[in-house]
Amino acid sequence: MSDTMNKMIKQARKCAEEIKKYKEVQLVSHIDADGITAGSIISKSIERADIGYDILFVKQLDKNTIEELADQNPELVVFTDLGSGQIEHINNCGLNSVVSDHHRPQGETKFHLNPHLFGANGSFEISGSGTAFILANQIGDNIDLADLAITGAIGDMQYRKYGKLVSLNREILESNSTYISSKNDISLFGKQTRPVYKMLQYSSDPFLPGLTGNEDACIDFLHKIGFQYAKDEKWRRWIDLTDEEKTKISSSLLQYSMKNGLSSYNISRLISESYILLQEKEGTEMRDASEYSTLLNATGRYMKAEIGMAVCMGDREDAYEEAKTLLATHRKNLVDGLNFVKINGVTQLSHLQYFDAGKEIPETIVGIVAGMSQSSNNRHLPIIAFADSEEGHKVSARGTQEQINRGLNLSEAISKVCHEIGGGGGGHDIAAGATIPAGKKEVFIEMLNAIIATQITKK
């Protein structure tokens, strides 16, 4: 066990002792897959400790939300996958809190579990669900929740920097082999549940030129390489194939991608480490961490995070069926969003590129679309996306590891701009977001471009 893990466990013990003083607590978590799994991990752990709870899922933790929580006068609020960037507001409102998060901290509080406090990077070394898992195992014996920790890490794209989970995430993975296994495999979504041609058709990350969104082209591709995609009148899934068939499709897809202009970066991502949740039923979304996290993201992105949490807590009937319906809508909206960006293009400045989706892409998924769109635009520049929201404009920003190596820090850049023009935002160096006042898009993008220019110059 690493020294960093030992230090986090020691701090988690203090936080757990504080939680166990109370008979009822208020939980607050983020609406994405990492937040849903983090909230579920803590919910399950305190439920097992006979502690009552209510849980609130939020798109963004802002001053107004914190003030509303304070008005309810809870005995203790436990924040998961958020809170570290809002400690000043939490303290000013007098909330008694435990913060379990992995985003860059701003401010100090006594019961605070965050990898950055111990020299680790929350962008790729451990997720919000991983941090929650460490806390949960100081509340009680909750080792069986490791699969949710890994699912949250995959949903948070913690594998992106190295193509696999590393550091503290890796420790959680390798010390819980009863619940999780890993292997190299094709990285397309749907290995457990979709017919192979549907895997290709709905591939949005990476976007496959000529195949994504085109069912006939995907079937034709498989036919040309001699693949029998149906057997005994049943469509065959990836998990139904032999190793030889999987190798043939993978190599043919790599060759196709090179011929059709897919970037070398995206080609390299077609094969990656995948994570199997061994206690889950084969052929379901929950068996594969990538599919599970996407299922959970779909519930959160359409403001139904409580449905995702119910699945995490064990509901494989009504909640699972509703989650699958939301997932089908989510995948279609992502493909539609990618096509919107492809048709309308992006605007390029000296140090960033951006597009304005207006009302055409839901604000809850515009960040995902931005990240997926980057591969088909200028990969040397971070991509910024705007979408209309009730509060003004939703901003989502995505970078690459190569840009981070050159000095880019989107979280710091966006925080600085929001401090100047209003609104609030933050996140990670490679992915960040904000909500800014209506009418401030132009000044926001100009200031952000200037700040990113200084970051790259300094490096």
Helical (H) or strand (E) element with 231: strand 230-231
Instruction: Give 84-100 as a DSSP string.
Output: GGGHHHHHHTT--EEEE
Whether residue 9 is found in the same domain as residue 128: yes
Name the percent of the chain lying above pLDDT 70: 98
Whether residue 327 is found in the same domain as residue 437: no
- Residue-wise pLDDT for 411-434, tens only, equals 999 999 999 998 888 888 888 999
365: CATH: 3.10.310.40
Name the percent of the chain lying above pLDDT 90: 73
121: CATH: 3.90.1640.30
Whether residue 428 is found in the same domain as residue 330: no
Whether residue 200 is found in the same domain as residue 159: no
Q: 């609130």: which residue's tokens?
A: 56
Task: For residue 136, give both structure tokens.
Answer: 């949960």
Burial 417-437 (b: 16+ CB within 10 A, else e): bbeeeebbbbbbbbbbbbbbe
Write down the pLDDT at residue 271. Answer: 86
Residue 243 lies in a domain: yes
C-alpha separations of 129 from 124, 135, 168, 170, 207 in Å: 12, 10, 12, 13, 28
Residue 61 lies in a domain: yes
Whether residue 95 is found in the same domain as residue 227: no
Domain of 357 in residue numbering reads as: 345-458
Whether residue 128 is found in the same domain as residue 21: yes
E-strand stretches of 310-419: 347-348, 353-356, 383-389, 392-398
- Residue-wise pLDDT for 142-178, tens only, equals 999 999 999 999 999 899 888 899 999 999 999 999 9
pLDDT at 272 over 80: yes
Whether residue 327 is found in the same domain as residue 252: yes
Task: For residue 373, give both structure tokens.
Answer: 């769109």
Residue 56 lies in a domain: yes
Lowest mean pLDDT among 87-96, 166-175, 225-234, 418-427: 225-234
Whether residue 33 is found in the same domain as residue 81: yes
- The whole-model pTM stands at 0.82
Lowest mean pLDDT among 57-66, 244-253, 261-270, 279-288: 261-270
